[in-house]
Amino acid sequence: MTPSLDYHALAPELIVTATLTIVLLVDLFWDQVGKRQVAHCDHRRAGGDGSDLDSGC
């Protein structure tokens, strides 16, 4: 005899787990993209000629 699962009872935990996993993955990759953008802007700013003022950095 196999036990039956009540999927309606498990749904809230599954939704929370899936949401947290997605948020953590997005945060992981978003952080890398953000660091790359900041490093790019800092590199341009090191020139000191003021050309980065209108570049969106």
Per residue in 38-57, pLDDT (tens digit) is 666 655 555 555 554 555 55
pLDDT band at 3 (very low <50, low <70, confident <90, very high): confident
Closest residue by Cα to residue 43 from 57, 29, 31, 56: 57
* Sign, CA torsion 37/56/43/46: negative
Give dist(CA 37, CA 7) in Å, integer. 43
The pLDDT, as a whole number, for residue 38 is 64
The pLDDT, as a whole number, for residue 17 is 98
**Model confidence over 4-37: pLDDT tens digits?**
999 999 999 999 999 999 999 988 888 776 666 6
The pLDDT, as a whole number, for residue 25 is 92
